[in-house]
Structure 1
Amino acid sequence: MQELKTDILVIGAGSGGLSVAAGASQMGTDVVLLEGHKMGGDCLNFGCVPSKALIASGKAAYAQAHTSAYGVADVAPQVDYAAAKDHVHDVIAQIEPMDSQERFEGFGVKVIREYGSFISPTQVQAGDHLITARRVVVATGSSPLVPPLPGLDQVTYFTNETIFDLRDKPEHLLIIGGGPIGMEMAQAHIRLGCKVTVIEGLKALGKDDPEAATLVLDSLKAEGVAIHENAMVAQIRDNAGAIEVVTENGEIYAGSHLLLAVGRKANVDRLNLEAAGIERTRTGIKVDDKLRTTNRKVYAIGDVAGGLQFTHVAGYHAGVIIRSALFGLPSKAKTAHIPWATYTDPELAQVGLSEAQARAQHGDAVEIARFDYHHNDRAISERKTKGFIKVMVVKGRPVGATIVGHQAGELINLWSLALANNLKMGQIAAMVSPYPTIGELNKRVAGAYFTPRLFENQTVKKVVRFVQRWIP
């Protein structure tokens, strides 16, 4: 057994773990990084990167068949599903060097390609290494949840960890789960020439603003995706080579391939948390607002911390940890300014409180500012007029924003900035956007907030009349 001592031990080389390791090592801290699977974690290898690459393939195919409105003849796309997957893996390969073992060793990080397991509050065993650390950061992420459905073990099924290695185009893809992953994969596959059926036990995109979610779901249905809601799965079965999904109400959906997209579970099973005095929760590891576990020398960040499960959250958590563990500065993780996006077409993005949450929390103090895409000249010119932006405002400050439409994931950035810095709507309205841009929607919705105050306010009108009459 080889014994090592280090300042910071990072368990997991996904987005959060890599950010901590890179930042800490470049600031002169002794860092050991453990990774038992792939460098880059879920996002690079099985999640954000490959899914967006496949979505891009589907978008290209869809565009070929929908160009007549621009004066260009529609053509039937010739989809090569295996080549689309080559594109996916080429994208991964281009990004891989940024997350590679060699790059992090260049920063001075000692990288050990083994899983880690606690054997005491300050010691972790990884293969034949015994590591004692002053601080430990658990960044093991999450994995696809595979529910114990009767008959599931009798069929071949895919998750986000395996679907990107499939090279034979599914004739009919059944997707269990109508959340963001399920809907993104549904649209990508329908555009690549597959038949797609989504089976959701409750409400598809149920965590999003209902009006915005409906706009997305209607768009997917118009493209041919069959979406069945309130359809709890009771059984999976093989019927002469076809996969059948049987719901509790007796409905049967048959297809050639099955994708499970029903949620995520925190990767904690290998960690032996009890040996370190670290408590779990139903969703992961118990942490305080400083991301410390019940063992004060151990932090947990990203998906394994049991909160919002997004790559950018793990990166944000890494910054919180670096300020606290390296500099000893007070640093707390907040969630109010954390945005997220679903990369369907149209996109759906959210930051802060939804309209329903804002009304529940602030009552009549909430004002809703809204602006529709069909009033934006750039959206009109590109025929991307489906969608809207609405901002929830309390006492002149935004507390949340919902955007559905073209480039919603880009537009939401400004509102994350506003919430992070407690900006006022007047500061948003004061910015100047180049014309014509989709980004102008953000300025226009701020203007919509002030419109009734300026144009419907009788006091304002009296002041203007006075100035025009009496001020030379």
Structure 2
Amino acid sequence: MAIAMVVVSFFYFDLNQLLTLEALKSGLSQFKVWQVEQPILVAGVFLLFYVLITALSLPGAVIMTLAAGALFGLFWGTVIVSFASTIGATLAFLASRYLLKEAIQKRFGHRLQLINEGIQKDGAFYLFTLRLVPVFPFFLINLLMGLTPIRAVTFYWISQVGMLAGTLVYVNAGTQLAQLEGLSDILSASLLISFAVLGLFPLVAKKILNVIKARRVYAGYRKPRQFDRNLIVIGAGAGGLVSAYIAAAVKAKVTLIEAHKMGGDCLNYGCVPSKALIRSAKLAQQMRHAQHYGLESVEPRFSFRHVMQRIQEVIRTIEPHDSIERYEGLGVDVIQGYARLIDPWTVEIARNDGESQRLTSRAIVLATGARPFVPPLPGIEDVGYVTSDTLWEQFAQLDIPPPRLVVLGGGPIGCELAQSFARLGSTVTQVEMAPRILVREDEEVSELAATSLQNDGVTLLTGYQALRCEKTADCKRLIVEHDGKEQAIEFDSLICAVGRVARLEGYGLEALGIETDRAIITNDYLETLYPNIFAAGDVAGPYQFTHTASHQAWYAAVNALFGHFKKFKVDYRVIPWTTFTDPEIARVGLNEQDAKAKGIAYEVTRYNLDDLDRAIADGAARGFVKVLTKPGKDQILGVTMIGEHSGDLMAEFVLAMKHGLGLNKILGTIHTYPTWAEANKYAAGEWKRAHAPQRVLAWLEKYHAWRRG
């Protein structure tokens, strides 16, 4: 209360008018007289007043610093301000800590968790950075740091050291201002230099910090005087291929290292084969329900071996896009082998031809991807299992799909595979520990997807926890638990689809101390602990999508090659994704459950596809488009679609969000009739109808009535 009264009194009595440049100049001569008569007293009073100003976070610290230079000169002015500012800042820090910290942490603790962890780990360095760059408001740093776990002693001495350079610059400017006798003195060389230093200081400070950080990080390593390559890329999945492509396009000398197959998981085990399987399964299902289209329904007859052969043909058709020959033609040096980091600039390659090779590079991009996670269930190795990576090879020789199939996992991969194999004739049981499948989607989306899978014959067990696997002479079983009771599920094949984990082992990350936590830890520029080593794609997270890996690859490659000029922060604002079940589920931005969890206000606009002419004509009139917008505005916060072609239709909303276009722009865009894309326009029309200006419409109704006489 006392602090509040002092602050209110300060502004009520206009005491802030005393802390202006004009007041400083007008009172400078009188202060000088007092200083000559009582130098110690004036210095002491000045110091206490400075402490009071900074402790109460009142405006005027800059003027006080200039005044110190004018009154006491460069040396003593710097000494007085250095201690006064640090003491005052620490008092403000302590006040914030004891008055606000508990309440703030209690209310926003879950959102501040990452900040708290970062401060506990590198709080001194963060504070030093903020103190060294005077762009950040002095008082704000004091108050915000008081809300964090940083120790008061650490705060004091880091502030004392970090603010010293800036204090010197401002005090020096004050010594020059004290010499002004007329307007012509403003152009004096020494004064101009002082202000030039003030302007350049943030840039210089940033460079100094980078040098300090680099020295600390690279301590113990000898940097090569020259390099074999401008860039080495480890991993030839989407992230690695795009990184290498960009480097070659700008004429950098780049080497791409891949131990197995070019194209990575997406081409060989993931996106491409799974979509080929989905297409075959969908056609089989359409044949069973041909009467829906006025045709005669038939049970499809096929060899599962031929289905799997077609999948391999699709892969072979796409392979040239990602082949060694193509990339070597683009100027990329491609090496097949296992790469391992020896130091921040050196990569050792165990080549597939048996040779060993070492290369140095100024920059390195890690794009090693991810692999399926296999849960450590007792007995799982005994019964045998396949994953989304291995099923294509292990099922390739089957004439019929697995008769009894268990799919473990209710995420996108599990749902896609469960539905496809059910449509191809397998008796499928899908087991998910969570209370519903696709838990990242809104509940109504999960429910619609679950209904679709069950209609296709999938036995869906949600809320079931897998306990163990058992094998007898003639039977394989998965033991699950639900509501405290155990249940056995017999199967011929088991697919583990419970998620994917980044490939972090075998590349030398541990030896170099590169930090990982489910993925390689990077900053906003995709730099790892070492600023010349970058990570992109699944190994970097936070999204495990092929299109995100390609997106990150641009930032990794450009920052690796040109970061000494300009760095670009990776942009995750608009990331779309699609689950390729039938119907497809597509999303971009926020959905309702995310918006609620983050406390973001929103409005919902919904358009049901059973109203869309093309959906009715195609016999696929199920699903909806749901758009979240800012209350009262057409700004799009997020979109969820479930229906035919949702993944393709989402592109219009992705474009709109990326470039700040609202629903009014989509509504005003001509969409061909009859197409699925009209769903986007009609969703925008629903928003417009809900926000029609009722008062204006009422007046228009009266106007038209008047016009009729």
- Tell me the TM-score normalised to structure 1 length: 0.95
1:178 aligns with 410
Alignment deviations for residues 95-128 of structure 1 (CA, whole Å, 9 cap, x no partner): 0011111111111111111111111111111111
**Residues 56/279 of structure 1: CA separation in 2 closer, same or farther (3 Å cut):** same
Alignment deviations for residues 341-389 of structure 1 (CA, whole Å, 9 cap, x no partner): 11010111111001122234354x4111110000100001111111001
Structure of larger gyration radius: 2
- Preserved contact between residue 363 and residue 561 of structure 2 (Cα < 8 Å): no
The answer to whether 1:86 aligns with 2:309 is yes
Decide which of 269, 291, 301 is 2:505's aligned counterpart. Answer: 269
Alignment deviations for residues 403-461 of structure 1 (CA, whole Å, 9 cap, x no partner): 0011111111111112211221211111110011111000110111110222x712333
- Preserved contact between residue 227 and residue 362 of structure 2 (Cα < 8 Å): no
2:519 aligns with 284
Alignment deviations for residues 166-193 of structure 1 (CA, whole Å, 9 cap, x no partner): 1312011111111111110011111111
Superposed, 1:155-170 pairs within 5 Å as: 155-165=383-393, 166=395, 167-168=397-398, 169-170=401-402
Instruction: Return the letter of the residue paired with 1:252.
Output: A
1:251 aligns with 487
Q: Distance in 1 between matches of 2:558 and 2:667?
A: 33
The answer to whether 1:77 aligns with 2:300 is yes
Alignment deviations for residues 270-289 of structure 1 (CA, whole Å, 9 cap, x no partner): 111133341111x2100112
- Preserved contact between residue 79 and residue 192 of structure 1 (Cα < 8 Å): no
2:581 aligns with 344
1:319 aligns with 554
Moved more, 20-29 or 417-426: 417-426
Alignment deviations for residues 313-358 of structure 1 (CA, whole Å, 9 cap, x no partner): 0011112223323344432223231111110101111110011222
2:319 aligns with 96
Q: Name the SS of the counterpart of 1:435 in structure 2.
A: coil
- Preserved contact between residue 121 and residue 275 of structure 1 (Cα < 8 Å): no
- Preserved contact between residue 273 and residue 315 of structure 2 (Cα < 8 Å): yes
The answer to whether 1:408 aligns with 2:640 is no
Q: Distance in 2 between matches of 1:417 and 1:439?
A: 14
Superposed, 1:348-359 pairs within 5 Å as: 348-359=585-596
Q: Distance in 1 between matches of 2:507 and 2:227?
A: 18
Q: Distance in 2 between matches of 1:69 and 1:37?
A: 45
1:213 aligns with 446
Q: Name the SS of the counterpart of 1:114 in structure 2.
A: strand
**Residues 359/465 of structure 1: CA separation in 2 closer, same or farther (3 Å cut):** farther
**Residues 360/158 of structure 1: CA separation in 2 closer, same or farther (3 Å cut):** closer
The answer to whether 1:306 aligns with 2:534 is no
How many residue pairs are counted as aligned between the two chains? 467
- Preserved contact between residue 231 and residue 561 of structure 2 (Cα < 8 Å): no
Decide which of 123, 136, 140 is 2:364's aligned counterpart. Answer: 136
| Structure 2 residue runs without a partner (length 5+) | 1-225, 351-355
1:466 aligns with 703
Higher strand share: 1
Q: Distance in 2 between matches of 1:291 and 1:224?
A: 44
Decide which of 637, 643, 662 is 1:399's aligned counterpart. Answer: 637
- Preserved contact between residue 122 and residue 276 of structure 1 (Cα < 8 Å): no
Q: Percent of aligned pairs with the same residue?
A: 38
Moved more, 416-425 or 256-265: 416-425
**Residues 78/279 of structure 1: CA separation in 2 closer, same or farther (3 Å cut):** same
1:372 aligns with 608
Alignment deviations for residues 62-105 of structure 1 (CA, whole Å, 9 cap, x no partner): 11111112111101100211000001000000000111111111
- Preserved contact between residue 121 and residue 277 of structure 1 (Cα < 8 Å): no
2:172 aligns with none
Decide which of 677, 685, 701 is 1:439's aligned counterpart. Answer: 677
Decide which of 272, 280, 285 is 1:62's aligned counterpart. Answer: 285
Moved more, 431-440 or 333-342: 333-342
Decide which of 284, 293, 296 is 2:531's aligned counterpart. Answer: 296
Instruction: Return the letter of the residue paired with 1:428.
Output: I
Q: Distance in 1 between matches of 2:654 and 2:701?
A: 36
1:232 aligns with 465
1:6 aligns with 229
- Preserved contact between residue 4 and residue 129 of structure 1 (Cα < 8 Å): no
Higher helix share: 2
Instruction: Return the letter of the residue paired with 1:149.
Output: L
**Residues 318/468 of structure 1: CA separation in 2 closer, same or farther (3 Å cut):** farther
The answer to whether 1:151 aligns with 2:379 is yes
How much does 1:464 deviate? 5.4
Decide which of 352, 361, 381 is 2:617's aligned counterpart. Answer: 381
Alignment deviations for residues 254-305 of structure 1 (CA, whole Å, 9 cap, x no partner): 1111110011110110111133341111x21001121111111111111000
Instruction: Return the letter of the residue paired with 1:163.
Output: L
Instruction: Return the letter of the residue paired with 2:575.
Output: I
How much does 1:4 deviate? 7.2
**Comparing both chains, which one has the higher relative contact order based on Cα–Cα distances under 8 Å and sequence gaps of 6 or more?**
1
Q: Distance in 1 between matches of 2:598 and 2:411?
A: 25
Q: Distance in 2 between matches of 1:89 and 1:188?
A: 17
1:187 aligns with 419
Instruction: Return the letter of the residue paired with 2:519.
Output: G
Instruction: Return the letter of the residue paired with 1:7.
Output: N
Instruction: Return the letter of the residue paired with 2:428.
Output: V
Q: Distance in 1 between matches of 2:651 and 2:243?
A: 23
- Preserved contact between residue 358 and residue 392 of structure 1 (Cα < 8 Å): no
**Residues 134/73 of structure 1: CA separation in 2 closer, same or farther (3 Å cut):** same
Q: Name the SS of the counterpart of 1:198 in structure 2.
A: strand
How much does 1:465 deviate? 3.7
Q: Distance in 2 between matches of 1:241 and 1:334?
A: 54
Moved more, 259-268 or 269-278: 269-278
Q: Name the SS of the counterpart of 2:486 in structure 1.
A: coil
Q: Distance in 2 between matches of 1:345 and 1:306?
A: 27
Instruction: Return the letter of the residue paired with 2:363.
Output: R
Q: Distance in 2 between matches of 1:468 and 1:443?
A: 31
- Preserved contact between residue 175 and residue 260 of structure 1 (Cα < 8 Å): yes
How much does 1:471 deviate? 12
Instruction: Return the letter of the residue paired with 1:111.
Output: V
- Tell me the TM-score normalised to structure 2 length: 0.64
Moved more, 412-421 or 71-80: 412-421
1:201 aligns with 433
Q: Name the SS of the counterpart of 1:68 in structure 2.
A: helix
